[in-house]
Amino acid sequence: MNVGEIAITAIDAVTRETMLFAAVGFLIGGLDDLLVDAVYLAVAARRRFGSARRPATIAGYPARAVPRRIAVFVAAWDESAVIGRMLRSTLERFEHDDYRIYVGTYPNDRETIAAAAAVAEKDDRVRVVIGSDKGPTTKADCLNAIWGALARDEATHGGRAVAVVIHDAEDVVHRHELRVFDALIDTHPTVQLPVVPLIERKKDLKAALVSGHYADEFADSHGKQMVVRHAIGAGLPLAGVGCAIARDALEALSGARNGRPFDAGSLTEDYELGLLVGQGTFARVRESEDGPLIAVHAYFPDTIEAAVKQKARWMTGIALAGWDRVGWSHIADWREHWMRMRDRRAPTAVLVLAAAYVALVAWGLSEVAHILSGTPAPGLAASVSLLLTVNLGLLLWRLASRALFTGMAYGPVEAVLSLPRALAGNLIALLAARRAVWRYVAMLRGAPLRWDKTTHAFPDDRTLAEEGLAG
């Protein structure tokens, strides 16, 4: 056997093995997703035709005669470009008579302090908290500093917040969200509203693809997956924005963690907290029967570099560190095991995806090599051919489902655009996985955790009007 024959044999072997590995991986993931879809369809049918269901519009959540106090936490590091507009917008939007916004800042971030203080000077519902440590630490560490300020304020001035609501410095809040939280927080330790990413349409095609893939993912996650988790009784991870945590739940965590309820050793404290405090609820409430959702809107990263950084942090905290930090539920709780395994499958899914791309390239090289050598290319075994056919069907179903949920949230144009954006999402996932592994290895070696945040933007008035979010 000469060198050329050895090379062709090696290429064929790589093609065969990577194709089989990827095909089996896609089959497992596809069947898992298909089962989620089946549960969702059953839930949707029960809600449509069943007699008992939660009110679907804000009319089912009447405002209390005396609204209770709610504390809104906004952790801010290097947010001088957006924090002022976000605070003014929030103060104008919230329709609730008793709330206070706590903005957590760092002593070495004077620009953010000044921007937040300029709003606080004109409205005493805003309180600027300057932590003792220089930033950036972690978001959880900043939230702990705010928690301490809330406790001191209540000890000095009296009163007690019934819940803590968490937002980020780039969020566009909904005017009715505190009303929903006030209605549900007595019976649930956490309440999560849907998150609706804004799509960057004013820059270039790359920005539209990158920011748009977040819209597709959240449309699926908060339109279907969280609904399924809630329906089967699994834990509901918090998104870190648009979520309320009952005061009693935070105080229990505070007592167990030396006065620091948010775990400063976590990169995804919101996800972990949602699983730890008990069965929360996911509130998909609309302004009217055909009206918009009561949800949080925000721009997500619109560059590949920023998206990779953010996705790597999520992957590190949830899919890698989650194995040892959160662990699993008791052995018989299949619901929790299923959902946590789905949360942690991202690195494996990326490995399968990488194998599929390798198989595709190797297959092309194999075809060319056999043509040049005048030898027949090896055919597919019947079992592999069947497996690929089944996977093709599952892929088409997945893309159709993705387009459907994106369309329900954003309309038919974005539904069609969700198809090419799937490729952008794959590229970002591949790059983020590499970064996540290195970060996780550094964590295991004792590297200090830092707030690896991205640069944020707050929509201007024209954009808010175009998105139907003005006023």
* Confidence band for 428, pLDDT divided at 50, 70 and 90: very high
Residues 99-154 pLDDT 10s:
999 999 999 999 999 999 999 999 999 999 999 999 888 899 999 999 999 999 99
Please give the average per-residue pLDDT across 235-259, as a whole number: 93
SS3 per-residue string spanning the chain = CCHHHHHHHHHHHHHHHHHHHHHHHHHHHHHHHHHHHHHHHHHHHHHHHCCCCCCCEHHHCCCCCCCCCEEEEEECCCCCCCHHHHHHHHHHHCCCCCEEEEEEECCCCHHHHHHHHHHHCCCCCEEEEECCCCCCCCHHHHHHHHHHHHHHHHHHHCCCCCEEEEECCCCECCCCHHHHHHHHCCCCCEEECCEEEECCCCCCHHHHHHHHHHHHHHHHHHHHHHHHHHHHCCCCCCCCCCEEEEHHHHHHHHHHCCCCCCCCCCCCHHHHHHHHCCCCEECCCECCCCCCECCEEEECCCCHHHHHHHHHHHHHHHHHCHHHHCCCCCCCCHHHHHHHHHHCCHHHHHHHHHHHHHHHHHHHHHHHHHHHHCCCCCCCCHHHHHHHHHHHHHHHHHHHHHHHHHHHHHCHHHHHHHHHHHHHHHHHHHHHHHHHHHHHHHHHCCCCCCCCCCCCCCCCHHHHHHCCCCC
Indicate the range of 170-184, 233-247, 276-290, 442-456 predicted with least confidence. 442-456
**Which sequence spans correspond to the domains of the chain?**
3-46+343-444, 58-193+242-301+454-466
What's the confidence (pLDDT) of residue 54? 63
User: Quick one: which of 315, 306, 308, 326 has its CA closest to 265?
Assistant: 326
Question: Given 3.30.930.10, 3.40.50.970, 3.90.1150.10, 3.90.550.10, which CATH number is that of 58-193+242-301+454-466?
Answer: 3.90.550.10
Q: What is the mean pLDDT of residues 183-201?
A: 94
Confirm if 304 and 271 have CB atoms less than 8 A apart: no
User: Residue 304: left (phi > 0), alpha (psi -120 to 50), or beta?
Assistant: alpha
∠ CA 78-81-86, nearest 5°, is 100
- At residue 104, φ and ψ (nearest 5 deg) are -90, 125
429 or 46, which is more confident?
A: 429
Rg of the chain, C-alpha, whole Å: 24
pLDDT at residue 27 is higher than 90: yes
**Model pTM?**
0.91
32 contact partners, CB below 8 Å, separation of at least 6: 342, 345
Q: What is the mean pLDDT of residues 398-427?
A: 95
pLDDT tens, position by position, 362-402: 999 988 888 888 888 888 888 889 999 999 999 999 999 99
pLDDT of residue 7: 84
